Structure 1
Amino acid sequence: MEVEKKKKSFDMEMDILDNKVVIPEEPDSFLNLRKLWAFTGPGFLMSIAYLDPGNIESDLQSGAMARYRLLWILLTAHILGLMLQRLSARLGVVAGKHMAEIAYDYYPKIPRVILWIMVEIAIIGSDMQEVIGTAIALYLLSNKAIPLWAGVLITICDTFTFLFLDKYGIRRFEFFFCFLISTMAVTFGYEFFKAQPSAGNIAAGVFIPWCKDCDMDQLLQGVSIVGAVIMPHNLYLHSALVKSRKVDRSQKEKVVEANKYFFIESGIALACSFIINLFVVAVFADGLYGKSNIDVRQECYANNNGMPDFYKSVFQNNTDTATSDIYHGGIYLGCAFGVVALYVWAVGILAAGQSSTMTGTYAGQFVMEGFLHIRMSRWKRILITRSLAILPTILVTIFSQGVDHITGLNDFLNCVQMFQLPFALLPVLTFTSSHMIMKEFAVGIYQRVFSVIVSIVVIAINYFFLVEYVNDNFNSSFGWVIVGIIGFVYSIFVLYISYYCLAAMNLFRPSETGVIAKIFPLPIDSFDAPWLDELKFEDKRVTDI
């Protein structure tokens, strides 16, 4: 693939975007495979966030808790994710800037900094999940020879190593990610075909949107699926990754073409992601649903599985519901299908952790540069982000009573992702609805109304989940007071950025003067549209003649 070598500039882009892939100059058709191949890459890098260790743990827990009844929520989350990723990619192509860069021009300074902090919290939370997943994978692969704290520290070194891959070009970098996705597909697919779950039950779970006889814990697990699948920082990342393709924005047909192929590529990538996630849900729906710890423990000792004794005794000798997380899930697979299945599972978790670690680091780089206009070398950015993720994680590994506590962090971190989602969802809807930014590519009225409904549902679910979480974890009035204060501040900021979203959608006409205009200043018309400039030039030339 031909790549144009650009000179280094002093703009705010990273090295990974400096070498743009050139799109073949040939007539477009309904589906030109050469052009699709040229556009293929950003969507698969984006889809990594749908396959991180937090997602995998959410998958296995939904299978163990509700069997196949939550598969339709997994599918719905991927479809919703595709719609949002389409808007994100469309924004990057049409505006020529990614979300964080546009946010710098669109929002006032203080709200912009708060928004940046919210996105950084989401990135750090996601990074913690990746650190946990990698540490547990190394723990399993080494038969506990690499302790959890050592596995956490190893993630610092491996991230630095892998991030030098982009020096060999964007295409090789993308191929490496596709290799990691393929590794996950093979490893989790191996477990799926070993388990051989019922195809009929899987189909019913995917296509029948109902959860019969589901209790509150199972419904909350469905909410957790949405929080695990749709990552806030991923929208910022995707809008930047599409800039790695050389799209001639001075020609409207080229912009339309890029939007089409990025949408097709994202659809293919998320279809692959859904299948891999489905593999995990189905395996544990078939194997762990309705079982207690003692059931799995007896299975471990009864089977001739080659498992070491220290793994066989992991499940407690009690009648509690079988523990389900990425650590116990791997041990169950080894007990049921042989020790090879344990190591295959660990390799898949390792691939998930490594791939999502790298994309998270790049998302952090784009977000920091866009929101703050601070250019920071990658090794400094990695050190800061990874340190913020590692410090709380390593404290848990050192002072907790074992691997059970570190895996329990994933549930909390999925909640964090869910609560940060409005700070990516509302901005992307704001920007793509704004005619000031998107010109004639702004989303239509029906999509705006649908987006508002989706946003309201997501935010309402967040508040419902908050109440349930507090009920389960706080028994004192002091805890409720703290949560109430945090909830109030959170609500005020959500309403603030919602104002901009509704104004961009033209659902009401904002005041141009007065107090409201000072609190919610609208941006100036500073977003370029070179395809329109070309048309204006042609019109002027005809007039002069």
Structure 2
Amino acid sequence: MDIGSNEVFPGWRRDRGDASLTDVHRSIPVARSGSFWRRAFAFIGPGYLVAVGYMDPGNWATSLAGGSRFGYTLLIVALISNIMAIVLQSLCARLAIGSGRDLAQACRDAFPRPVAWVLWLMAEIAIVATDIAEVIGTAIGLNLLFGIPLEIGVVITALDVFLILYLQRLGFRWVEALIITLLGVIAVCFAVQVALADPNWGEVIRGFAPTTEIVTNPEMLYLALGILGATVMPHNLYLHSGIVQTRAYGETLPEKREALKFATIDSTVALMFALLINASILILAAATFHAAGNTTVAEIGEAHNLLSPLLGLAIAPTLFGIALLCCGINSTVTATLAGQIVMEGFLKIRLAPWLRRLTTRAIAIIPAAGVTIWFGQQGTGQLLILTQVVLSLQLSFAVFPLVMFTADKKKMGALVAPLWLVVFASVIAVIIAALNVKLLVDFGGALL
């Protein structure tokens, strides 16, 4: 029986239609017996693909700018953003496992066609903004490490689509293995850099304490919203609700409950890892640039050049460049998958897997490449921060539908979100919307 059919869930208006990511849907077997760890192992992977979006090059720009400008103060924003992310990504897994739909499919089903088209457009804008950040970051990483011109680096980033096609022919586990390996390299690079920077750990701890200055200071709020947009990313909500369904977790209620438990553990652990990386970037900027009086560092290339004289070791900028390149490669891979989920889910376009990926990649990378080549090396830091603010402004268009769907018992059946989780997620959605309204008001006042 189709787990997304009206016979099972009368709250949906029509059948789910094609499964999300049809070429890898339910392709990874799940152990039905054995130890807890053996059963849980099958679900390790999607959370780390999602975590990639929480440490992409856009995060680097906002964290570098925040750390250099305000020291450790904005660490609390990274923490709060991460808590929001954990809650929202758990709802994505719940939606996917409970209804058999990804977020894009659910929006297409639940809303009138004009509304669904607007939501699709918002999702595409978010993916384009994401790709701008990732293309810039990857191109800068190639430039810093190998001296490849920015324009050529942009073209090279388009080749990730062929990497995805090759790995998925081997199996979706190979995609996850690549992502997790590169995340390990990133972690090692930052562990060494933070150790070399020797931050004031007392100030680091105080940085996780809340302060009203973040809301009252427009410049700090702008960077805080950039961190929020770089952390809780709209495309990740679509991505997670799609790739969770690569697991063949079964169709009975007990099997779905266990799948939801393991998927939530996977994403929570992965996002805590992402918090460590994001905090490390901000701590590194605070301990090196802010402490030395360099409070206007927003360019990734500038940060790379300053690390060697400030830390006294030539290896520091090399590690920085390697971590940046790994982040960029990871992020372009996951953004391409998210683009495919969004296009298939909203528009129900049926194309061959290779053509779907080329199409979704082109929609995102053409404007991203144009902007990157136009701006060149100059101003890329500010452009990266701007893309993250754009993502923050798009976030509500994905968060509110997600909360609505998972709180609806007619749509979710026995896996409907408990009341406490619905309240918590609703508060998060309102906070995100309120901060975005304040940002627009502040910008409108500045323009007038």
Do both proteins adopt the same fold according to a TM-score greater than 0.5, normalized to the shorter chain? yes
Q: What is the CA deviation profile of residues 331-369 of structure 1, one whole-angstrom value per residue up to 9, with x for unaligned ones?
A: 111222333211211111111111111111111111111
Q: Greater CA deviation, 59-68 or 216-225?
A: 216-225
Residue 395 and residue 173 in structure 1: after superposition, are their counterparts in 2 closer, same or farther (change >3 A)?
A: closer
Q: Deviation of residue 406 (structure 1)?
A: 2.6
Structure 1 vs Structure 2 CA RMSD: 2.1
Residue 390 (structure 2) aligns with? 416
Residue 98 and residue 194 in structure 1: after superposition, are their counterparts in 2 closer, same or farther (change >3 A)?
A: same
Q: Deviation of residue 392 (structure 1)?
A: 4.0
Residue 403 (structure 2) aligns with? 429
Residue 325 and residue 374 in structure 1: after superposition, are their counterparts in 2 closer, same or farther (change >3 A)?
A: same
Q: What is the CA deviation profile of residues 196-232 of structure 1, one whole-angstrom value per residue up to 9, with x for unaligned ones?
A: 21222222222x2226698431232122211110011
How many residues are treated as equivalent by the alignment? 430
The answer to whether 1:347 aligns with 2:325 is: no
Q: Deviation of residue 27 (structure 1)?
A: 6.1
CA contact (8 A) 1:131 1:389 kept: no
* Aligned partner (choices 459, 462, 481) of residue 436 of structure 2: 462
CA contact (8 A) 2:65 2:296 kept: no
The answer to whether 1:256 aligns with 2:239 is: no
Identify unmatched segments of 5+ residues in structure 1. 1-9, 294-320, 476-545
The one-letter code sitting in structure 2 at the alignment partner of 1:11 is D
Percent identity (aligned): 34
Q: Deviation of residue 267 (structure 1)?
A: 1.3
CA contact (8 A) 2:62 2:298 kept: no
* Aligned partner (choices 242, 245, 259) of residue 244 of structure 2: 242
Residue 195 (structure 2) aligns with? 193
Residue 516 (structure 1) aligns with? none
TM-score, length basis structure 1? 0.75
Identify unmatched segments of 5+ residues in structure 2. 1-16
Residue 289 (structure 1) aligns with? 290
The one-letter code sitting in structure 2 at the alignment partner of 1:209 is P
Residue 267 and residue 398 in structure 1: after superposition, are their counterparts in 2 closer, same or farther (change >3 A)?
A: closer
* Aligned partner (choices 341, 361, 367) of residue 336 of structure 2: 361
CA contact (8 A) 1:291 1:322 kept: no
The one-letter code sitting in structure 1 at the alignment partner of 2:305 is I
Which structure is larger by alpha-carbon Rg, 1 or 2? 1
* Aligned partner (choices 452, 457, 461) of residue 426 of structure 2: 452
Q: How does 1:162-181 map to 2 (within 5 A)?
A: 162-181=164-183
Residue 90 (structure 1) aligns with? 94
Residue 397 and residue 129 in structure 1: after superposition, are their counterparts in 2 closer, same or farther (change >3 A)?
A: closer
Find the aligned partners of 2:368 and 2:124 in 1 and give their Cα distance. Answer: 17
CA contact (8 A) 1:69 1:212 kept: no
Residue 21 (structure 2) aligns with? 14
Q: Deviation of residue 398 (structure 1)?
A: 4.4
Residue 536 (structure 1) aligns with? none
TM-score, length basis structure 2? 0.90
Find the aligned partners of 2:423 and 2:371 in 1 and give their Cα distance. Answer: 44
* Aligned partner (choices 75, 79, 82) of residue 78 of structure 1: 82
Q: What is the CA deviation profile of residues 260-291 of structure 1, one whole-angstrom value per residue up to 9, with x for unaligned ones?
A: 11111111101111111111111111111154
Residue 232 and residue 26 in structure 1: after superposition, are their counterparts in 2 closer, same or farther (change >3 A)?
A: same
Question: Any idea what SS the aligned residue of 1:90 has?
Answer: helix
CA contact (8 A) 1:393 1:406 kept: no
Find the aligned partners of 1:255 and 1:160 in 2 and give their Cα distance. Answer: 33
Find the aligned partners of 1:40 and 1:172 in 2 and give their Cα distance. Answer: 13
Q: What is the CA deviation profile of residues 496-517 of structure 1, one whole-angstrom value per residue up to 9, with x for unaligned ones?
A: xxxxxxxxxxxxxxxxxxxxxx
CA contact (8 A) 1:16 1:169 kept: no
Q: Deviation of residue 323 (structure 1)?
A: 2.6
The one-letter code sitting in structure 2 at the alignment partner of 1:325 is E
Q: How does 1:262-301 map to 2 (within 5 A)?
A: 262-289=263-290, 291-292=292-293
Residue 162 (structure 2) aligns with? 160
CA contact (8 A) 2:68 2:289 kept: yes
Q: Deviation of residue 103 (structure 1)?
A: 1.7
Question: Any idea what SS the aligned residue of 2:159 has?
Answer: helix
CA contact (8 A) 1:100 1:236 kept: yes
* Aligned partner (choices 60, 68, 82) of residue 56 of structure 1: 60
Q: Deviation of residue 162 (structure 1)?
A: 4.0
The answer to whether 1:326 aligns with 2:300 is: yes
Find the aligned partners of 1:202 and 1:369 in 2 and give their Cα distance. Answer: 44
CA contact (8 A) 2:123 2:235 kept: yes
Find the aligned partners of 1:19 and 1:224 in 2 and give their Cα distance. Answer: 36
Residue 11 (structure 2) aligns with? none
